Structure 1
Amino acid sequence: MSNVSYYTAEGLKKLRDELSQLKDVERPKASQAIADARDKGDLSENAEYDAAKEAQGLLEMRIAKLEETLAGARLIDESQLDTSKVLVHSTVKIKNQVNGMEMTYKLVAQSEADLKTGKISVDSPIGKGLLGKSVGDVAEIQVPNGIMKFDVLEISRD
């Protein structure tokens, strides 16, 4: 059973490109590394062989995880989304009621999240707390330090 996640065309392409890179480039490299290590003799005392096998196992786990993510991925048509409420792929400007700091975030799927570029996961505490809010609403978000309150100032789509 896979979880459904919504992606932009850009995010979905990025996932597919990464999967293609892993399957078409990294997998053959891992197989070659194992073959090269095997050619060096006794496998029972061959650390290079063990390392190559472990690297291959990690690569195969990453490929399986990406395939699972892509199986549950859905392309979202942003033009059809309601702009009056915070939804997946909304860009939201919020203001912290305590310190007055304003922040702008785009809510995205877990695998697209990147705080440096202002993209936060809809599964994060702030993302969950903002979903369904409208401009003027106060989002009360449970964080480890207690409850933070944010005013929703703007909602937009890029």
Structure 2
Amino acid sequence: MNKKETLLTKEGYEKLKKEYDTLVNIKRPVVIDTIQKTRAMGDLSENGGYQAAKEEQRFVDRRIGELEGMLKTAKIIEDRKNNDKVSLGSTVYLDSLNDDFKVSYELVGSAEADPSKKRISYESPLGKSLLGAKKGDIVVVSTPVGDTKYKILKIE
């Protein structure tokens, strides 16, 4: 795996592409129009609207650059055909042996990780522990508060 690749699911790629298109074709032109209108109001040093629009432009341009980089180096994770081992795109069902609760996560690339939606990066401590593991394996995740053990119940 190339270090510079941005690993994404097809869904994740489409989401980033949509955000990029929205920023380039809708948001950025609106910001530029706002800058032009507020610039016409006079003294730029005391023009709060102009300053806010310039800050928004910096944010939008920075995000466009980030997205361009990710999309340019994107490698789409193919749909999984083998559920023997945990790999990118796997949904893994776990039993926490420390706290006796069950949880599931989808293993994705860093650009589309969202723990609140149970999507974790393969580069996270848990993701690294799960990658390549099999059903029935016990993985240990080191955290600041100590080690946590999980048993892999199912891989989809």
TM-score range, shorter chain: over 0.9
TM-score, L = length of structure 1? 0.91
Aligned-residue RMSD, C-alpha:
1.6
Q: How does 1:74-89 map to 2 (within 5 A)?
A: 74-80=75-81, 82-89=82-89
TM-score, L = length of structure 2? 0.92
Give 2:49's aligned residue: 48
Distance (Å, rounded) in 2 between the aligned partners of 1:56 and 1:43: 16
Q: How does 1:105-144 map to 2 (within 5 A)?
A: 105-144=105-144
Give 1:94's aligned residue: 94
Cα distance change, pair 2–18 in 1 and its aligned pair in 2 (3 A): farther
Give 1:19's aligned residue: 20
Contact 1:5/1:74, CA 8 A, preserved across alignment: yes
Task: Tell me by how many angstroms 1:138 deviates.
Answer: 0.9
Distance (Å, rounded) in 1 between the aligned partners of 2:128 and 2:3: 20
Distance (Å, rounded) in 1 between the aligned partners of 2:147 and 2:55: 43
Cα distance change, pair 42–16 in 1 and its aligned pair in 2 (3 A): same
- Runs of 4+ in structure 1 off by over 3 angstroms are none
Distance (Å, rounded) in 2 between the aligned partners of 1:32 and 1:120: 38
Distance (Å, rounded) in 1 between the aligned partners of 2:143 and 2:61: 35
What is the DSSP-based 3-state SS (H/G/I as helix, E as strand, rest coil) of the residue aligned with 1:3?
Answer: coil
What is the DSSP-based 3-state SS (H/G/I as helix, E as strand, rest coil) of the residue aligned with 1:53?
Answer: helix
Give 1:6's aligned residue: 7
Give 2:66's aligned residue: 65
Task: Tell me by how many angstroms 1:4 deviates.
Answer: 1.1
Distance (Å, rounded) in 2 between the aligned partners of 1:34 and 1:88: 43
What is the DSSP-based 3-state SS (H/G/I as helix, E as strand, rest coil) of the residue aligned with 2:4?
Answer: coil
Q: Which letter does structure 1 place at the counterpart of 2:24?
A: K
Contact 2:9/2:109, CA 8 A, preserved across alignment: no
Task: Tell me by how many angstroms 1:5 deviates.
Answer: 2.5
Task: Tell me by how many angstroms 1:76 deviates.
Answer: 1.9
CA deviation string 1:52-89 (max 9, x = no partner): 11110111000000111111211122245x42111111
Cα distance change, pair 129–3 in 1 and its aligned pair in 2 (3 A): same
Distance (Å, rounded) in 1 between the aligned partners of 2:61 and 2:28: 8
Gaps of 5+ in 1: none
Contact 2:85/2:135, CA 8 A, preserved across alignment: yes
